[in-house]
Amino acid sequence: MQSFSPSLRLCARLMRPHAAGAPVGFSRMFSSENFEFIISEKKEKVALITLNRPKALNALCDGLIKELNSELHALDADESVGAIVITGSERAFAAGADIKEMAPKSFMDCYKTDMLGFWNDITNIKKPIIAAVNGYALGGGCELAMMCDIIVAGDKAKFGQPEILLGTIPGCGGTQRLTRAVGKSKAMELILTGDQFSAEDARSLGLVAQVYPAEELVEKALEMGEKIAKNSQPVVAIAKEAVNVAYETTLAQGVTFERRMFHATFATNDQKEGMAAFSEKRPAKFTNN
């Protein structure tokens, strides 16, 4: 394998084609890693990660997920970033897991390595993540979108969990998150038939928050990210944690947790600033502490 100097690696990143549909005005983020499967950029307080396996319709291989996890953790630690958008291309957010990588594995291969176990790491990120889904989000692609905090979709997007057609089942949360999002009966139908469903169907089912024209999707997702990033980052993280707890606990436990987190916000300077600004009829100036 060839080795490159940092300056040559920088040039190589600059020469890489810009992600389709990415807005003008972004600065490329140069991580310590030279990514092969993703592109990471930033505009003001919002980071944009683009899945970058176009020939494979962004099929999710272990290498892509490792790069994605690495960059997400770096962005989570970056105080200049207030929200993260993950997208693919207009043709495919991610058309599924990489079947060629999976097909030869035996049960013991899967069990000993806990195959897909580390894919769930995205759910440990504290900052809000928006999935901007254009084209296909099938199998692992649908599961990746559901691991994000908010899903927005282009009007031509297609979702589905077609693993049953391959003689297997979803393995990265599909049976769990889809059921929580759309209810048992509809999730059972979609998972047992492998049928795909449209962006409008996904919105009507509660899986998707907003649907936009495909060519406007990334810009709209970034606008949402910018709106979120203007708020207090610690309080946004607390709110995200409280919403996620609703999935894991009873209503009584969740309400108690929410109340304790509400109390905790009163230890922040941003709560004092936010309420003072409201009383003084002026915009709040949050300092994220």
Tokens matching residue 154: 């282009």
130-157 confidence digits (pLDDT tens): 999 999 999 999 999 999 999 999 999 9
Residue type, 252: A
pTM of the entire structure? 0.87
CA atoms within 13 A on the CB side of 59: 9
C-beta neighbour count of 15 within 10 angstroms: 7
CA–CA separation, 246 and 165 (whole Å) = 32
Alpha-carbon span 60 to 168, nearest angstrom: 17
Indicate if 116 and 255 belong to the same structural domain: no
| Structural domain boundaries enclosing 244 | 233-279
Q: The tokens 């990514």 sit on which residue?
A: 35
Domain-embedded: residue 240: yes
* Distance, C-alpha 63 to centroid of its chain: 17
In a domain, 261, yes or no: yes
> Could you confirm whether 226 is annotated as catalytic?
no
Residue 160 CA, chain-centre distance (Å), reads 17
Residue 150 covered by a domain: yes
Is the domain of 98 the same as that of 63?
yes
Report yes or no on 239 lying in a domain: yes
Per-residue model confidence (pLDDT) at position 195: 98
Q: How much is the pLDDT for 23?
A: 56
State which residues of the chain have pLDDT below 50: 1-21, 30-32
Catalytic residue among 137, 143, 199, 229: 143
Active site residue 143: yes
Rounded to the nearest 10 degrees, the angle between the axes of helix 184-193 and helix 174-182 is: 140
Q: Quote the DSSP letter at residue 232.
A: -
**CA 140/CA 95 separation, integer angstroms:** 8
Encoded amino acid at 124, one letter: N
174 belongs to the catalytic site: no
**Residues 6 or more apart from 127 whose CB is under 8 A from it?**
75, 76, 81, 82, 83, 84, 233, 236, 237, 240
218 with 240, same domain: the answer is no
Query: 180 lies in a domain?
Result: yes
Q: Is residue 115 located within the same domain as residue 240?
A: no
Residue 11 has a pLDDT of 36
Structure tokens at 80: 């200049």
What phi-psi label fits residue 119: left (phi over 0), alpha (psi between -120 and 50 degrees) or beta? Answer: alpha
Q: Indicate which residue of 139, 140, 171, 173 is catalytic.
A: 140
Looking at the domain assignment, is residue 86 inside a domain? yes
Of residues 163, 199, 214, 239, which has the active-site annotation? 163
How confident is the model at residue 1, as a pLDDT? 35
Q: How far apart are CA 81 and CA 150, in angstroms?
A: 17
Which of 59, 83, 94, 97 is an active site residue?
Answer: 97
Domain membership of residue 172 (yes or no) is yes
CATH number at 187 reads 3.90.226.10
DSSP-assigned states of every residue in 150-200? EEEEETT-EEE-GGGGGTS---SSHHHHHHHHH-HHHHHHHHHH--EEEHH
152 near 208, Cβ under 8 Å?
A: yes
Establish if 287 belongs to a structural domain.
no
Measured in residues, the chain has a length of 289
Instruction: Tell me: do 218 and 264 sit in the same domain.
Output: no
Q: Is 157 exposed, middle or buried (0-12, 13-18, 19+ CB in 10 A)?
A: buried
The pLDDT of residue 4? 33
Active site residue 33: no
Helix intervals (H) in the chain: 6-15, 62-76, 99-102, 107-113, 140-147, 174-182, 184-193, 199-205, 217-229, 233-248, 251-265, 269-279
pLDDT value for 6 = 35
Q: Does 256 lie in the same domain as 186?
A: no
